[in-house]
Structure 1
């Protein structure tokens, strides 16, 4: 009987997996005096997906937001309200994987201010490479996001493991044949990673 092949490529989401404190929406809603659903709709109308895919600059996004809502932000909310904090156990898990010889990359939906903040803080340093939507021009859950990573890494879908906190992203990755796990807890993900790594 042939032994199961260890997964050679691990892809980790960042916000909601590696870090907490990344959600700026509650503070934005308070600043603009909007309920969460209305804010989400307004952000989408202003082009939040285009912003995440690097298609428009932040200044243009806020111009669109003001045109749609009549509200202009104080300062730069994307940066001002962004206070990520690392999950030490997840960083330790990624570090152990890399020291074992595994290839570990980040696959994240992000925008320029958040990407720049993570770079300044060294939050991406634990990874072999970072695949960020704002630089790739495509975002999850578009299948092209994972296809671009797999092509760059020279990996087949069935030889990749992906973890994310968003169900739609997990489902989209799984549909490509990637071993995909939704983050629920560090022990749960750690067990799944250990199994995928052949440990």
Structure 2
């Protein structure tokens, strides 16, 4: 069955998401490792992804760890620098799809607050036909419920959705529901996948 919508993850597909690199530059790798060992910042972020208030969650975590207070607050105050740079090749593919009239959806584990910050800096984060954001949906990938919610909302058959994500467990969960999938590694590989489905012309992936 033909693809009727292309679904993009955001982190590490459209924008780089490796906050450790930001903190290495901010405070040095040794101190960053010490902070991440003491404070589970990724667990904090997962709670934001699941719908907790962004600023409250980060600032409360900072207050519980006063020795790292200023550094932890960067997770909120400088989020657009943590989530950078844009992955330009993927942005090109997103825009090429939309220019050809192919519906583009987002399906991302991201809080509403971080997405709003990102949209102020990255216009392409507002360039979609439908956005499915875990922070608003209160469900995170790879929970099968989030994929079911997408299907019910868009009304498309699972096999007509083509989904790119950088995490194998998220891809596996979508594939189990019948979605067509691509494990994202590079924009070139994703572009070649889109060409193979007849969604983009030869040469775009280059």
Instruction: Tell whether 2:14 aligns with 1:18.
Output: yes
* Aligned counterpart, 1:49: 46
Instruction: Give the match's secondary structure for 1:187.
Output: helix
* Aligned counterpart, 1:129: 130
Q: 1:68-87: per-residue Cα shift (whole Å, max 9, x none)? A: 78642347312325322223
- TM-score, reference length from structure 1: 0.80
Alpha-carbon shift at residue 151 of structure 1 (Å): 1.3
Task: Measure the CA separation in 1 of the matches of 2:108 and 2:39.
Answer: 22
Considering fraction of residues, name the structure with more helix. Answer: 2
Instruction: Tell whether 2:33 aligns with 1:35.
Output: yes
* Aligned counterpart, 1:63: 60
Task: Measure the CA separation in 2 of the matches of 1:54 and 1:106.
Answer: 17
Answer yes or no: is the 8 Å Cα contact 2:105–2:128 preserved in 1: yes
Instruction: Give the match's secondary structure for 1:181.
Output: strand
* Aligned counterpart, 2:204: none
Instruction: Tell whether 2:98 aligns with 1:110.
Output: no
> Any gaps of 5 or more consecutive residues in structure 2?
201-206
- TM-score, reference length from structure 2: 0.78
1:113–1:75 Cα change, 3 Å: farther
* Aligned counterpart, 1:94: 94
1:39–1:143 Cα change, 3 Å: farther
Alpha-carbon shift at residue 147 of structure 1 (Å): 1.5
Q: How many residues align?
A: 193
What RMSD in Å do the two structures reach over aligned CA positions? 2.9
1:76–1:70 Cα change, 3 Å: closer
Alpha-carbon shift at residue 12 of structure 1 (Å): 0.3
1:143–1:118 Cα change, 3 Å: same
> Any gaps of 5 or more consecutive residues in structure 1?
none
